[in-house]
Chains A and B, each alone.
Chain A
Amino acid sequence: EAQVTQNPRYLITVTGKKLTVTCSQNMNHEYMSWYRQDPGLGLRQIYYSMNVEVTDKGDVPEGYKVSRKEKRNFPLILESPSPNQTSLYFCASRWGKSSYEQYFGPGTRLTVT
């Protein structure tokens, strides 16, 4: 089954404790991205990647890091999480620049206390 998976689905952590949210897609998509969803703000793009080893900042990159060492994986790293990073995070992928349909993962609800 074609899908985007994220782990963990739920995470409660404390300020400053480094964490990684994994994202994996099995559709051989070139393009992957991370969004955060906050009430009243919709989805805002954090980072995106056009291919392996090619990443760029989205609209709200501060406090986040990403890497794209393999085509299928695009982990989101919070080196020193803060309470304002409490949010619902979505990973998404699509085939490439000629394809505009994005496939979203199920989301990761992160709480930073």
Chain B
Amino acid sequence: AQSVTQLGSHVSVSEGALVLLRCNYSSSVPPYLFWYVQYPNQGLQLLLKYTSAATLVKGINGFEAEFKKSETSFHLTKPSAHMSDAAEYFCAVSAAYSGAGSYQLTFGKGTKLSVIP
């Protein structure tokens, strides 16, 4: 079984400030972890993924996330927010083993990021 908890359904930051979106996961097997971004009226786009290689993962648009097994976390960060970062962000987990369960991608409820000029 696996689940994802995203802390904060809405986060507001000033333009140029640090972006930190929190994600904690629960998984009975080693996880693969993902962050997706959804811009208004669009589908989901993969930002970055952790698949058991480096624990610090860099994605598109200057975002990165660090897998911390001891904290069961995969928080998303960006050093300096831009107006174009305003979107909804989803953390997701999948099981890191081959088998029927590995096809399931479980999403968090999402965090809407607002960027204040």
Contact = CB atoms under 8 A, between A and B. Distances in A.
A100 B49 contact: yes
Contact of B51 (A33, A100, A102, A107): A100
A interface majority secondary structure: strand
Interface stretch (B12-20, B64-72, B78-86, B100-108): B100-108
Interface string B35-63: 01000001111100101000000000000
A14 interface: no
A76 B81 CA distance: 38
A27 to B, nearest CB: 14
Contacts of A31: 103
B43 A42 contact: no
Interface residues of B, number: 25
A41 B100 CA distance: 24
A98 B98 contact: yes
A100 B42 contact: no
Interface residues of A, number: 25
A42 B49 contact: no
A43 to B, nearest CB: 4
A105 B43 contact: yes
Contacts of B43: 4, 90, 104-107
Given A41-B109, A42-B109, A101 B46 contact: yes
Interface centre among B34, B46, B105, B109 (most CB of A within 10 A): B105
